[in-house]
Amino acid sequence: EAGVAQSPRYKIIEKRQSVAFWCNPISGHATLYWYQQILGQGPKLLIQFQNNGVVDDSQLPKDRFSAERLKGVDSTLKIQPAKLEDSAVYLCASSQDIRNTIYFGEGSWLTVV
């Protein structure tokens, strides 16, 4: 069974530029998550989708971050404009349902200079 796919794996941008990350969850998984992981810290939830509806986006900096999950399958996370403190790994994850185990992708590493 294919795992969670993410791209790009690495991205370096200048502050105030924009960037977009793409995620394709495990087939059949209804719940999709975007986490931010800063070096030395645990993952922090940015947004959670159930099918194509938002369940939790309470920690998403909505002035610069946006995410969508069209057709309830793959998802895109966008940052515009980027700040230096956005340098982190952006992890996409999925689960069969909100109650089930979360499985992570390899992550998209962002460096803002």
Binding site for another protein (CB under 8 A): 4, 40-45, 56, 89, 91, 93, 98-99, 101-107, 109
CA atoms within 13 A on the CB side of 103: 19
Question: With respect to another protein, which residue has the nearer C-beta, 4 or 63?
Answer: 4
Bridging pattern class, strands 108-112 and 88-95? antiparallel
CB of 26 to another protein, least distance (A): 12
C-alpha 60/C-alpha 64 separation (Å) is: 9
Question: With respect to another protein, which residue has the nearer C-beta, 71 or 99?
Answer: 99
Question: With respect to another protein, which residue has the nearer C-beta, 71 or 101?
Answer: 101
Determine how many CB atoms are found less than 10 A away from the CB of residue 64.
14
CB of 63 to another protein, least distance (A): 23
